[in-house]
Chains A and B, each alone.
Chain A
Amino acid sequence: MDFRKDTLLSLPFKLIEVFFRNLSSSRLTVLLTSAFTLFSIFFLFAQEADVQAGKKLFNANCASCHKLNKKAVGPALKGVSAKYDREWLYSWIKNSSAMIKDGDPQAIAVWEEYNKVAMNAFPMLSNADIDNILAYSDYTPPAPVAVASNQQPASSSGTSNDLILVALTLVFIILVVMLFLVQKTLKRIAFASGVDISPTVKEKRPPLWQVVAKNHFLIFLLVVGFLLSSAYFVYGFLMQVGIDQGYMPVQPIHYSHKIHAGANQIECKYCHSSARVSKHSGIPSLNVCMNCHKNIAEYNGEEDIENGYTKEFYTKEIKKLYDAVGWDEDNQAYTGNIKPVKWVRIHNLPDFVYFNHAQHVQVGDIECQTCHGPVEEMEVMYQYSSLTMGWCINCHRETNVKVKDNEYYAKIHEELSKKYGVEKLTVAQMGGLECGKCHY
């Protein structure tokens, strides 16, 4: 299903939502508890192998192939220190291929188990470093203390609106019933005490509509007013036909630009690489996703529980990717069983418009956000700009052509700027308003 969300309408609700979210104490609690745990961990293990240092080293050197609890490219690291001799581990980590060459039986066994892919050598790690890493891999964090209490306010705030609504409705119904009863009682009392409650007949004045109907000038004004206002609305309606600003379709995989471009700061053109050279920005092929997601099998970032964007939710979406690209997580291998993803196209220019991404992004050095909006904040991607011709033209009128260090412009810029008597040329002055530049 696709739907177009009216951003204007939803804006006030969103504001309220954000306000409430900030008020809730849940985040603060999380922060406090985590600070506390970290502190206690630090305190407990400071003397022995340093878990924190180990975590750092692990993330820097090992995480691309190993996970703690799960098999990745290499084996899960939890418990390796118990499984193997410490000295063996030192030499294995420092240079495993040498051991395989030397014919160490244990080393060969591991090598064969993992498709004969030798582990990278890490000669720069000292024995102490390795100890730290192993300490981190063996470390089990104490169960979070305040998790249970965290859940409460979050869930109650979700239902409170409904409850209030139901309660209010009830109160209104009761009020109506009460009013009715009071009136009935009063009527009965009036009847009993002999008070005449029938309304007094006033002198008949002509009704308002008759007065208006007789005043021709007023009618004229009203008709003109009516026509003008309806024309305004009709015009407004017609002008938005075919404009899909705010179009936010549901995609087959919930891909969050907020997480990728926002939280992880991935450069837009890393995935949309063809924007640099081609007219299309290109929807990245799934092998591009797998560059990172080969190792990132589960989501461990921030959650947005109110909207249901939990860690499990995101992890499930990553599994959808694996399913599409045919990645067998357990064996860390491609099955070849692919299901291409049918994304819903958001930005649809009509056929008769030629738009070139490279021209804008690479030659013009325009930020993607200029047209696509704050993508790094978009949980669900939507069409930010109207993409109308007026919108294009406006930008062409206002934007200066980036001519620096581009030899193509050297001559034409010099000549044109002399002709127009300006320092910098806008796209329009370069001929960017000509029909045939975009329509052919």
Chain B
Amino acid sequence: MSSKKVYWKSVAQLDKGNELVKKLEQNEFIDQIPVDDFLGDEHTMSQSKTNRRDFLKYVGFSTAAASLASCEGPVIKSVPYVVQPEQIIPGIANYYATAIADGFDFRSILIKTREGRPIKVENNKDASILGDANARVHASVLSMYDIKRLQVPKAKGQDITWSDFYSQVGAKIKAMAVSEKPIVLITQTFASPTTQNIIEKFIAQFPNVSHVVYDTLSSSHALDAFENVYGVRALADYDFSKAETIVSIGADLLGDWQGGGYDSNYAKRRVPKEQNGKSEMSYHIQFESNMTLSGANADNRIPTDPDSQKKIIAQIYSQLTGRTSSLSELNPQLKKVVDNSVLRLKKSKSKAVIVSGIDDVAVQEVVLAINEYLGSDAMDTAQPKFIRQGSKKAVNQLIDDMQKGKVKGLITAGVNPSFTLPNSEIFNTAYSKLEFSLAFALKEDETATAAQFVAATPHYLESWGDYQFKKGHYALAQPTIRPLFDTQQFQDVLLKLSGSTNTYYNEIKSNWTEKNILKENSWNKTLHDGCFSTGDVIESNGVSFDLGHQIKTLSKASSGDMSLVLYPKTGMGDGQQANNPWLQEFPDPISRVSWDNYLTVSAIDAKRIGLKNVNVSDGALNGSYANVTVAGKSIVAPVLIQPGQAKGTVGMAFGYGQRRGLQEEMQVGVNAFPFYNDFNSVQEVKITPADGYHEFACVQLHNTLMGRGDIIKETTLEIFNTKDKEYWNPIPKVSKNHMEYEVTSPEVDMWQSFDRSVGHHFNLSIDLNSCTGCGACVIACHAENNVPVVGKQEIRKSRDMHWLRIDRYYSSGESFGDDNQTKEDISGLGDSLTTFGEMEKASENPQVAFQPVMCQHCNHAPCETVCPVAATSHGRQGQNHMAYNRCIGTRYCANNCPYKVRRFNWFLYNKNDEFDYHMNNDLGRMVLNPDVVVRSRGVMEKCSMCIQMTQKAILDAKLEGRQIKDGDFKCACSDACSSGAMVFGDVNDKSSIVSGLKEDERMYHLLESVGTKPNVMYQTKVRNTDETLK
């Protein structure tokens, strides 16, 4: 029997008596069209001078005029190249390997360009490390076409030329060097060997300059710990595919913890694989406060406040090594889990790993010590990562010096301290008093606005660069387009200011060839591949730990009764790309809220403090405001009740609340940086309710699956190993002539099927085990298919246009049926109060499952039969086609779709000032994919299974006169999926991976009982809840 767990998307759904939920289950649109309000208004109607006849005349006349006007076609001009570059053929995409390193995201990627325009980011599968783009990196291509970018250098707010810039800035720096006035160069982490050289040369030229590295979201504590132990300022790298047991204490290892990029290796071990006669997968235990992606994917998630986390880590260390004793006791519930974790760590030994995200040097040292003790294969300290370099001590020192007037000049590059520093008001006051300030900036952000000189820098896609992400793992970045504006790279400017005639490109090339990074390898090949690795390791002289004292302090950790845990949101990160409409509209994988950040509060705390979330009449979510006070600083933030939030903690995301260099539409959310005191993500906080309600754009209660169950099938590893498929993944049965048939049987099928045995037949498999919910596919789909951005208000009306959504389901311990029964049995008020209280408990720490849902491309598609104009039809290759030009917008198809994947263009989303996003300006439209039409108002659209990509693969094969290999067929989503959860291919090709997956025991179709025979399949989620150790 399959798991009887019932999933729910929102707390409100648990309450079966809720009128709203009932209504929404039957009716997608909760409000009736207010015809009576309008027509019933006798007074206004009689006042109107336009009577019915006149109205009809106007309509008739305008229709006739419009049709006449449309008879004459426009004259379209075509301008070919004067000299066509050899590599560019109109209509053919070029790919370039490059790398992003914006100080927060570091990745090796491929850029797809069409006619010289970069239009899409793809994973660099050749890269040895960090080759998988996340949602932000996928969206970064749109940030290049940002109309808010700086186009020319500025001096005191006025546009100037570069030659003026050089003469003025050069003179200033020289003058200050002569008078020995200290200048500080504060930059992001570059992780770039050549940039390091250039900065060193610059400092050699101007000895009054010193360099400070500042990470907006700091990993300073982990860096300090690693430096203390291994002598190198770097971060240990982890390969979770080598780990059988993963213990994470407050580390969002699937999110942006220490630069992120761990999800693909993590996912490799999450799929049950045959080993010694039984299937095995890794076991992941997560102690955390906020509900994160990692917690959502963990087998065992324990919501704990940050203090307990410190205690837990001390406990684990002492129990494991037996070195320290007499620690303060944990509460029995936690103790049980900790004991279990220790047991597992001991059992797995070198196949175990422990990680922590707590901003505390002691904790980070303990983590390293435990992994060393275990001899963890997953931890790599010989080739550590360099993608975070910032030092909180240096930054704090700098601000102190600025305040005291010791620093006379400041050069910022890639950072926006005016906004992101916790004590930005102190910084800003001191900054305005500086003798010299120069900001290298992409946009006119807070720092650039206040700076005397602003050097406009190019986007990374217009730049050269070299990086060492990890010891021995290098990456090269090359421009994929000529700079759109009059911009110059930071490195080029530094070179020129230090009197060099060399360009940054030449410096990189000579550095790589002369310094022998490449040795015998070819520069051109490396540039083509975008990455290069050597076996270099760091030199470390022995490791020793003396942690007795630290463990004692950790075990006594205690702070106030409420802690605020700050975190970067999957879509926004550190907020550099806040002006990117794709990212703003990207629903958070956990909360499913777009266009906002908020204070996440547990249901119990919310009730205690008096904070509420309510759904208004159309299902949209409203949340009450709260005053959030940290160390005397207070802001008002909206509240989102987050199931799984540890009691006594609240969470808030960085990256929002910016006002400078942003379009008005993107100026959303509240700024959490002022709370980031001493670069510690955990802060003591006071929460009090505030007046009013905030309107969220949440896609939570929308597109409900109409209360039908068995949407996510899941089982445990034990059952999976011991029981038959019929038990844990049965195919629903129906009765015909008193005989039971499986719904997939032709016996009970009233459809005439096409013969699909000839040619290609595309299928997409989605593995619920390896899907981490990262959302890279959502953005990749946006980019590939020209999906419009509709804005906060439209999202709120459930008019989001995402072709691919990642449904997130919370599950409660018991089945929904039992809950219903319990509720039915309630007698009297007293009983109801206690019962409802118990039901609330279920949501305290829910299990989570992610399910990407796009058009299921049903072979027996309900949408196709109801279209009155045959605008949607089926292809032999399995795709459900949508001919936009044929669609008249009846929306019958959307109503008849059991998966709710069809999206209607309620408005014209391009060239429309009402939707002032990238499709409303020439620059932003450059990102559009020319192979996919931009839909107009009044037509239905949906996932096409990237038919433009499958068709392209077929055409290429025809042109080259060859058979198609497995792997040639791709979808934007499957291509972007680095965890391997999405596999696309031709099931008629028996050698393909996807045809194997179709026969897999875990395979099931969404809502199989409906009999739609989809071409998208899911693999049952298996949880590793190995009871033997518990």
Contacts and interface: CB of A to CB of B under 8 A. Distances in A.
Interface of A: 2, 241-242, 244, 249, 274, 277-280, 282-288, 324-326, 338, 340-345, 348, 350-352, 354, 356, 358-359, 362-363, 405-412, 415-416, 419, 431, 434-437, 439-440
B123 interface: no
B78 A362 contact: no
A101 B333 CA distance: 96
B755 A436 contact: no
Contact of B951 (A278, A411, A437): A437
B886 A435 contact: yes
Contacts of A341: 79-80
Contacts of A435: 871, 873, 875, 881-883, 886
Contact of B933 (A278, A351, A436): A351
Contacts of A410: 963
Contacts of B70: 241-242
A431 B876 contact: yes
Nearest to B70: A241
B66 interface: no
Contacts of A279: 91, 931
Interface stretch (B47-55, B82-90, B814-822, B999-1007): B82-90
A440 B758 contact: no
A244 B964 CA distance: 39
Given A407-B963, A408-B962, A436-B944, A358 B955 contact: yes
B635 interface: no
Contacts of A274: 89-92
A382 B886 CA distance: 28
A440 B784 CA distance: 12
B881 A434 contact: yes
A278 B885 contact: no
B499 interface: no
A348 B76 contact: yes
Contacts of B931: 279, 354, 440
State the majority secondary structure of interface residues on A.
loop
A285 B80 contact: yes
Nearest to B963: A407
A412 B759 CA distance: 5
Contacts of B886: 435, 439
A338 B91 CA distance: 24
24 contacts: A2-B75, A249-B75, A278-B91, A286-B80, A286-B81, A287-B82, A287-B83, A287-B84, A341-B79, A348-B73, A348-B76, A351-B933, A352-B885, A354-B948, A363-B959, A411-B963, A416-B759, A419-B758, A435-B883, A437-B951, A439-B882, A439-B883, A439-B886, A440-B931
Interface in B703-758: 755, 757-758
Given A278-B89, A434-B873, 18 more contacts: A277-B959, A285-B81, A286-B81, A286-B83, A326-B82, A338-B82, A340-B79, A342-B78, A343-B77, A351-B934, A410-B963, A415-B757, A415-B758, A431-B877, A437-B875, A439-B883, A439-B886, A440-B947
State the majority secondary structure of interface residues on B.
loop
Contact of A406 (B76, B759, B961, B964): B961
Interface in B593-634: none
Interface string B928-964: 0001111000000000100110010011011101111
A440 B932 contact: yes
B879 interface: yes
Contact of B82 (A286, A363, A416): A286
Contacts of A280: 90-91
Contacts of A412: 758-759
Given A278-B89, A431-B877, A437-B951, A343 B80 contact: yes
A185 B401 CA distance: 121
B956 to A, nearest CB: 9
Interface string B948-990: 1001001101110111100000000000000000000000000
A311 to B, nearest CB: 26
Contact of B885 (A241, A249, A350): A350
Contacts of A350: 885
Nearest to A279: B91
Interface in B60-118: 70-71, 73, 75-84, 89-92
B885 A439 contact: yes
Contacts of A359: 955, 958
Contacts of B957: 408
Contacts of A439: 881-886, 933
B662 to A, nearest CB: 31
Contacts of B944: 436, 440
B73 A244 contact: yes
B80 A345 contact: no
Contact of A282 (B89, B932, B948): B89
Q: Output the residue of A325, A341, A435 with the most chain B CB within 10 A.
A: A435
Nearest to B755: A419
Contact of A416 (B83, B758, B884): B758
A249 B73 CA distance: 12
Contacts of A363: 955, 958-959
Contacts of B882: 435-436, 439-440
B166 to A, nearest CB: 26
Interface string B644-687: 00000000000000000000000000000000000000000000
B533 to A, nearest CB: 34
Contacts of B962: 407-408
A4 B728 CA distance: 69
A238 B698 CA distance: 46
B758 A408 contact: no
A406 B944 CA distance: 28
Nearest to B884: A352
Interface string B457-479: 00000000000000000000000
Given A352-B884, A354-B931, A440-B933, A408 B877 contact: no
